[in-house]
Structure formats: structure tokens, C-alpha cells
Structure 1
């Protein structure tokens, strides 16, 4: 696989892992998602946060929605605008809309979140490796976000199922490792 360009390696790995994730039964998906939520709630990074950026589950990503009812936290969710993520406050009674990729997102008029207010980012991932590197969906949204000066130092937790927690991913110069990784078996990363 050394001769295959990294972009092709990533694309093939992405296809394989998304297929494996989507073949999981709804019951397994729910149980594993609930275990991830339980582990997150006992995490120091999570417990100490006030404003947390998260995501709405898409294509059988780990579902963190049971956490969103906890009003101890201020929750932020992204909207895809051009090539960037714009973050908005969201509360359980707020309505959502479907964005460009069919992903649920807050309305454009929802209050924005200033990066200075953010304590933690829960990062959706196709896969993560033991060094904290992440394989996303290929759009580069989180790569651009996490490499920008106002977001660079924010604590990050990659969220994956064990089937997508791998020894090593192909990485590019712009890839930035996440602080830690959580799966249904708990804290698995560097954290």
C-alpha cells in the first residue's frame, strides 16, 4: 500500500469503514452509542467544560444526542457554509434544518458561538488512530477548523466505534492529531 497515494488510501479506507459502520444493527449502534455517552460523562475534559461543540449523528455515526438534554452545558452545532463550519448555539427545543450534505444543522439565525467561549470539541470521525489522527469524510471542514489560529488549541475528542479505532492512518501534512479518542470501550486515545 506504500505506492498508493495517500488520498486513494484514505478513500478506500473511508469506503470500507463506512460500509462496516452502516452494516451495524440498529440495536448494536444504539448500545455502543449509549456506552460512548456514558464514558464521555465521566471524562474530566467533558465534566469541566461549559460550552461544547458537538454534531448530529449522520450515516450511523455514534449518536451523542442523549447528552444534549443536559442543560449544565451550552451546546454548539455546525452549519456548513461554503468551505467552513459556522457554529451556533442549539437547545433541545430548537428546530433544525437539513444542510448541503443532508446533515441536520441549526438555522442560520441561531445565535453564533465565539471560539473564545468553547471549552471542548467532540469531533465526528470515520476513523481515528492510536496517535489521535482522524479520518473524516474528505471535505476538509474539520482540518481547516482545527488548523485555524482561533481553534488550534481547543481540546478535541474524536468519537468513533471500536471498529474504526485503528493502529495507524495515512496522514497528510495538514492533519492535526486530536487530544484524545473515545469509543464504546471508553477513553482509547492519548488523553
Structure 2
């Protein structure tokens, strides 16, 4: 059996999703982000978690800045990734405010070098980024594999966040891809596992 190279298909899907996100007006994006944020903080899993692991969003991603601020004001531990130079790995670091962040790999805000690196994630909830998700919880990332490596080792509860416009019935995925436990969009929540 000949294996099909799914990389060209994934690259086309990535471009479609980036275009869909760029085509939203600022008001449309803000409205969707607010609705998504409200769904996230109303989750029982969020309320019970003592630690929130999340990405720091870029302008075309689902906004996580409000979530980070909200979690910090609630006294939760907030943990965000920092790419390890020269690898496809990430350290996950505890932050106490946005002052702990600086532009890092790919110009994304990352924890400064003096932030504590954590290796245990007890009682945590992980917010997982993706350009797209499918109805089975599989994600289409940016193609570098950073999150896939982390998710294969992470044993906590995972929540994928996505706009409806970047949701597909099914996406191509490989054997190392991990489905999230819950999918949250601006319109609904869907438990996967």
C-alpha cells in the first residue's frame, strides 16, 4: 500500500483557514472571541482547574488574552509555552502577568527566561490552539509539531478552541496527532472523549 503525502492538503487547508480569519472584521472577531471566552469560563473543567495552560494568541487566533487576565484575577496558575531554541520542543512556564512575556519564536509572546519552567501539571486544563479542528477533535496546527509533541505526553484535560468558519467534518491526521477532549467554538461545546 502506498502512503499518500497529506502535507500539500494540510497546507491548502492552512491557507484557507488563515484567509477565513483575516476576512473577519474586527467587530466580528471581537464578538466571536467574547462568546468563545464566555463558553470557556463557564466550563466545569475550567472552574475546577487550579492551573490553566494556554497559548498567547496572535491577532488571527482565537483571543486568549482575556482568558489569561481572567484566570490570573481568579488566582489560577497560568502557564504558557516558550519554544526551546534549536528544537521543536516547548517549555511551559508560569506567568503572573503580561509583564512576564516578550516576543519570542515566530514573534509570538513567550515567557521571559526568568519565568519558572514547570514539568508537573496537576489539576490543569490545557487550551489547545489550532488553525482548524474537526468534529473528532483533531487539529490542524501550523505544521511544526510543537503542540503535538507536548500533547502526546500531557495527561490532563484538553480543550480545542476554534471559530466555526475553521471547523471541518474531518481533517487528515497522523498517528502522532492527539484529539482534544472538548471542542469549543463561538456557537457550541462538543465533548469528544
* TM-based fold match above 0.5: yes
| Residues 122 and 156 in structure 2, CA contact (< 8 A), matched pair in contact too | no
**CA offset digits 1:135-167 (Å, max 9, x no partner):** 10001001111112xx1x211001110111110
In the alignment, which residue of structure 1 is the partner of 2:169? 167
| Residues 81 and 91 in structure 2, CA contact (< 8 A), matched pair in contact too | yes
Distance 2:190 2:40 in 1: 12
In the alignment, which residue of structure 1 is the partner of 2:126? 121
Q: What stretches of structure 2 of length at least 5 have no aligned partner? A: none
In the alignment, which residue of structure 1 is the partner of 2:159? 157
Q: Which runs of 4+ in 1 moved over 6 A?
A: none
Q: What stretches of structure 1 of length at least 5 have no aligned partner? A: none
In the alignment, which residue of structure 2 is the partner of 1:43? 43
In the alignment, which residue of structure 2 is the partner of 1:77? 80
**CA offset digits 1:34-83 (Å, max 9, x no partner):** 11110011111111101010111114101021122233211011101121
SS at match of 1:168: coil
Distance 1:161 1:80 in 2: 25
Residue of structure 2 aligned with 1:131, choices 130, 136, 139: 136
Q: Give yes or no for the alignment of 1:187 onto 2:189.
A: yes
Q: How many residues are matched?
A: 186
Q: More deviation in 29-38 or 70-79?
A: 70-79
**CA offset digits 1:97-119 (Å, max 9, x no partner):** 11121101110111122323351
What RMSD, in angstroms, separates the aligned Cα atoms of the two structures? 1.6
| Residues 132 and 177 in structure 1, CA contact (< 8 A), matched pair in contact too | yes
In the alignment, which residue of structure 2 is the partner of 1:19? 19
Distance 2:174 2:17 in 1: 19
| Residues 131 and 141 in structure 2, CA contact (< 8 A), matched pair in contact too | yes
Distance 1:25 1:4 in 2: 37
SS at match of 2:107: coil
List aligned pairs for 1:60-99, cutoff 5 A.
Answer: 60-70=60-70, 71-72=73-74, 73-81=76-84, 82-92=87-97, 94-99=99-104
